[in-house]
Amino acid sequence: MITPLRTLTEEQKQQFDTEGYLIVKGLMTLGELQEIEQTFDTISNQIIPGHFEPVLDPAISDPLKRYPRIMHPHLFNGTAKKYMLHRPVLAVLADLYAEEPLAAQSMFYYKPPGARGQALHQDNFYLQVAPGTCIAAWMAVDEADEENGALLVVPQTNHAAIVCPELADADESFTKHLVKVPEGKKAIPAIMDKGDILFFNGNLIHGSYRNKSKNRFRRSFICHYVGVSTTSIGEFYSPLYRADSSTIEAEITLESGPCGHEHDTVYPH
């Protein structure tokens, strides 16, 4: 069991509670980052049905066809599973949840030059964690800035309810849902160095810019977590993993979600 280790200062925990997000440095070594890079560089030239299905054609015009996101790499790759359960990350999450964290999902984004961004959204619209919400750990495998498509966050929307999304602009977003910035709030870029990890609340509104650079990827390894007191979760996110890789089968949420069947998504986040 992972217990709170006073990994975070009181000021850091206050920022997370107030703003809905926190960037933590120093949780990854250079060797660990190199292992992640090498692992996903190898995967980038493979086709893994149901998880990663690139179009391996040099003539393809959409960079996201060649480099789509990888869904749940922990289900087929030991390195992905190891870093989903990375002890320093779990220690931070134990501080934030004040209870044992459980891993629910992993993803890897390549975000090549020219790739569209992702419209503003809320993660718990998809994960449907109850009670409470999920927390994301968004690891910058490359430096992330406004040019290459940094993540955008809307501070202090972590206490807002889940909002029913509108249709996103397909020319700018590869996902279809959009949650508008509430009146009086503003989306700001989360500028990150290589190896930084951004933790954010599952209700926080966030998204990303298009990658406007000519030759810079914006790779990121992203995992979602819940607290051990979670009783139910969306159908794509069970089983849940403890730090020792043992699993817990959470009750699956069968309802359509807070916005009705017209907002059901067949594309797991």
1 in a structural domain: no
Q: What band does 257 get if pLDDT is binned at 50, 70 and 90?
A: low
Per-residue pLDDT tens for 59-109?
Answer: 889 999 999 999 999 999 999 999 999 999 999 999 999 999 999 999 999
The CATH number of the domain where 143 resides is what? 2.60.120.620
Write down the mean pLDDT value for the chain.
Answer: 93
DSSP string, the chain: -------S-HHHHHHHHHHSEEEE-SSS-HHHHHHHHHHHHHHTTS-BTTTB-----TT-S-HHHHSPPEE-GGGT-HHHHHHHT-HHHHHHHHHHHTS-EEEEEEEEE---TT--B---B-THHHH--BSS--EEEEEESS-B-TTTT-EEE-TT-TTSPPPPPEE--TTTBSSSEE-PPPTT---EE--B-TT-EEEEETTS-EEE-----SS----EEEEEEEETT--EE-GGG-SEE-TTS-EE-PEEP-S--TT-GGG--SS--
249 in a structural domain: yes
5 in a structural domain: no
Q: What band does 253 get if pLDDT is binned at 50, 70 and 90?
A: confident
Per-residue pLDDT tens for 194-243?
Answer: 999 999 999 999 999 999 999 999 999 999 999 999 999 999 999 999 99
268 in a structural domain: no
3 in a structural domain: no
Per-residue pLDDT tens for 8-67?
Answer: 999 999 999 999 999 999 999 999 999 999 999 999 999 999 999 999 998 889 999 999
Residues 113 and 127: their CA atoms lie apart, in Å, by 29
Distance of CA 238 to the CA centre of its chain: 16
Q: What is the mean pLDDT of the segment spanning 99-122?
A: 98
Structurally, the chain folds into a number of domains equal to: 1
28 in a structural domain: yes
Question: For position 259, what pLDDT does the model report?
Answer: 67
77 in a structural domain: yes
Q: Whole domain around residue 14: which residue ranges?
A: 10-56+66-263
20 in a structural domain: yes
Question: For position 263, what pLDDT does the model report?
Answer: 47
pTM: 0.94
